[in-house]
Structure 1
Amino acid sequence: MSQQLTTSPVAPAATPLPVGRSGRTHSPRYKWGILGIGVVAQAAFSAAFQGIPMASAVLQSDYRYSTGQLGLVLAALTCGAAVTEIIWGLLTDRFGERMVLITGLAGTTACLAAATAFLVPTGGYTPPSWLLSAVLLLAGALGGCVNSASGRAVLGWFPPGNHGFAISLRVAAVPLGGAIGALALPALAMSVGFRGVFGFLTAFALVATVVIVCWLDEPPLPAAGHRNTTVSPLRRWKIWRISLSAFLLDFPQFTVLSFAAIYLHKVHGVGITAISGLLFVVQALGAVSRVWSGRWTDSRGGRHRRTLVIAYSWIIAACFVGLALCQSGPAWIAAALMVVAGLLSCGWHGVHYAEIAIMAGKERSGTALGLENTMVFAGAFLTPLIIPGILSATNWPVVMLLIGAVPAVLSAVVMPREGK
């Protein structure tokens, strides 16, 4: 008589829960919490360095600064970030994201609190432009930590197949913070003055610092005895070329973010409230573009990131040529061209950052993102310094060509092609 054997189905092994560098075990959804922390930190800093220029017309009036002094103040935050980005990237790769973010954002909060208390016009006193610039320079130098540190944390917690999408979501916090600044800061400046502006930014930075202290755990370190043999991003020419394209694309971006308000108001007579709304649209659509591009390129195995950046560059150049030609044209055409140029010049960052971080590898991504952000903030720093000089010697059409169109064309040429 035959004997029938039966076997019980074997349950699949449970997926191990992720363990952070602190040794704590986390839910599989914890990576989304890390992404949220990165978004809050980045948005807090972005609201300052992109939001203050959106209130530039009110700042110039309230502080009674010349165009040159205004350019110095607007450039200070970005200059501070530019000179420290590589340092923050190297420190992040060496000591981890948590220490870097807490140190930098706590310092930024303190600087903005000092501006709130001591650097606003009161009665007959107007703070000198050099002093306001110095405090904002220090705030930028400390706040620049969020760019490489939060990006590295996101890259460490997400699996490779989602790197482009995750980095794009984190980078979308830049226009998100800029959109918050575009809505809040000009309104605060006109209603309660710049004490309200700096007070709002201080509170935002403080919230980001508390969130990091309470909830950020770092991704686990490599196994004991692991030796990092990856070539430093600073020694790879292709990574330098990608960073240089980011530097060039920053000129059209910050032409829009820093001087669109003044251009549209003085040349085409557009009201401050309408300009605020247009710049909000630029930032919001720029954020959507960053997320969409990261998702789209991830769905194609990470291909076409460079091609997308090149296509954006050519369209941006065409928009600025249009702006140069419509100096005396209808305001709505100038506004439409400015919005398209602005949203695309704010929309390339997601795939750009993902490409350079993935090329460098997780353990070197802090340095690569630091290099990228050095270039980004260098362009953001130089743009508001160069434009007043060109304006004093020529006119707005020349600005649109030299600072908008030409750098965008050069970016398309410098960016390495796919597979090269």
Structure 2
Amino acid sequence: MTENPPSRQAWVILVVGVLSQMAATIAITGPAFLIPYMHTDLGYTLTQAGTVAAAPSFGLILTLIAWGAFADRFGERLAMTLGVALTALASGIAVALVGSPVWMVLIIAASGAAAASVNSASGRVVMGWFPRHRRGLAMGIRQMSQPLGTSVAAVTVPPIAAAGGFSAYLWFLVIVTGVMAVICFGLVKDPPRAEAVPSPVVTSTDAGQPGPTSARGESTASPATDNPYRMDSFLWRIHAVSALLVIPQFAFSTYGLIWLIANQHISVGIAGGIVAASQIVGAIGRLIVGGLSDRLGSRVGLMRVVAIAAVVFVVAIALISLTPMPIVATVVFILASAISVADNGLAFASVAEAAGPHWSGKAMGTQNTGQFVMS
């Protein structure tokens, strides 16, 4: 039997999902690049500036599950459009509040809370439009949007702030998210909702448990009234494994630069290039692993391989830390960083498929929440 390729609409949705996630990522990570400007130009203490920088992430954590439930109930188009539009509104209001650290923390947290809509809804809409045999690749591409968004923020935010201060960054964010809200409203279409099948065909799933699927191989086990978290432990186990795999991911991304400089005696410029290269390789790795999961027909099996590889590379980093080996350290660090993020797309695809069309938004919100809390 030949498998139907993704429709043109599916690819349009994927592009919009990537761009909207990149815009949300700029809103979440942008303030971190402005700490020096808040300290010198606005007179914030380092503690105040750091709190403002962290505020979007706090807002994000508080609303991820709520936005997922909103997308489940009202659709992805409304969730993405409303969330990105509210991010633009909050950023515009923040322009008038830059002189007050307290108000800035509150309004920047609100912008992060609004941007959280994209995390759940964009993944949900991509999963809804792509057939199962292409979802791994699609989610791998979608997961590239976060490191790409961080890279765009790192390149654009400091010069914008240098030219026009914190307010210039906020206006930049208003424009970016405002344009994306219009694009989401015009181009995003909610995928067809699968209806529960009275007598589904029972097949084997990645969860290792028998699960009902439709003729297209999509989960139909979870009508709106059925809670997939009560059916078996699969979703809980995926959430737990993903949260644990966040530990090496954020350890490498947060402390990798200083480890290369202080432990391996690599110059600051070269170390920065190594970290940047690791982010690019990691983004490409998500794409490759996602496509491979489609070919193998298993996401969880590949996640096991990624988890084992992560353990091996963490041990390798620990051993290399005993003595400076700059060349070896560079290669191992890049590979370790790539492996540590390779599971993200696999986990999101598995969670959405296991949760079913009526619960995937809440499940992906829970998945993201666990990862952010652990990080």
**Correspondence for 2:85:** 106
Structure 1 gaps, min length 5: 1-14, 19-26, 120-125, 381-420
**TM-score normalised per structure 1:** 0.71
Aligned partner of 1:74 in structure 2 is: 53
Q: Are residue 367 (structure 1) and residue 358 (structure 2) matched?
A: no
Question: Structure 2: how far apart are the matches of 1:299 and 1:318?
Answer: 30
Larger Rg over CA atoms: 1
1:263-282 alignment runs, 5 A limit: 271=268, 277-282=273-278
Determine the structure 1 residue equivalent to 2:283.
Answer: 287
Q: State how far apart, in whole Å, the 1-side matches of 2:32 and 2:325 are.
A: 25
Separation in 1, partners of 2:341, 2:122: 19
Structure 2 residue aligned with 1:168: 140
Superposition TM-score, scaled by structure 2 size: 0.78
* 1:203-235 deviation per Cα after TM superposition (whole angstroms, max 9, x unaligned): 221221111111111112345998817842443
Q: Aligned letter for 2:136?
A: G
Q: CA RMSD in A?
A: 3.5
Counterpart of 1:85 (choices 28, 43, 64) is 64
| Distance change (3 Å), C-alpha of 1:290 and 1:79 | same
- Partner amino acid, structure 1, of 2:11: W
**Aligned residue identity for 1:49:** I
Aligned in 2, Cα 1:310/1:256: closer, same or farther, shift over 3 Å? Answer: closer
Q: Partner letter of residue 244 of structure 1?
A: A
Partners of 2:10 and 2:359 lie apart in 1 by 20
* Residues 250-301 of structure 1, C-alpha deviations (whole Å, 9 max, x = no match): 3443344455567778996955x76665444333222111111100111111
Distance 1:324 1:56 in 2: 30
For 1:112 and 1:293, locate their aligned partners in 2 and report how far apart those are by CA, in whole Å: 36
Counterpart for residue 40 of structure 1: 19
8 Å Cα contact 2:306-2:342 kept in structure 1: no
Matches of residues 146-157 of structure 1 in structure 2 within 5 Å? 146-157=118-129
Alpha-carbon deviation of 1:43?
0.9
Q: 1:238 to 1:278 in 2, by over 3 A?
A: same
Which stretch of the first structure deviates more once superposed, 353-362 or 62-71? 62-71
Write the distance in 2 (CA, Å) between the matches of 1:113 and 1:275: 36
* Overall identity of the aligned pairs, in %: 31
Gaps of 5+ in 2: 199-221
Given the alignment, which residue of 285, 300, 305 partners 2:296? 300
Question: Offset at 1:68?
Answer: 4.6
Counterparts of 1:323 and 1:56, CA distance in 2: 33
* Larger displacement relative to structure 2 (172-181 or 256-265): 256-265
| Cα shift at 1:132 | 2.8
- CA shift for structure 1 position 305: 2.8
**In 1: Cα distance, 2:374 partner to 2:177 partner:** 24
Match of 1:309, SS state, is helix
Q: Deviations over 1:384-406 (max 9, x none)?
A: xxxxxxxxxxxxxxxxxxxxxxx
Q: State the AA in 1 paired with 2:347.
A: H
Instruction: Indicate conservation of the 8 Å contact 1:79/1:378, yes or no.
Output: no
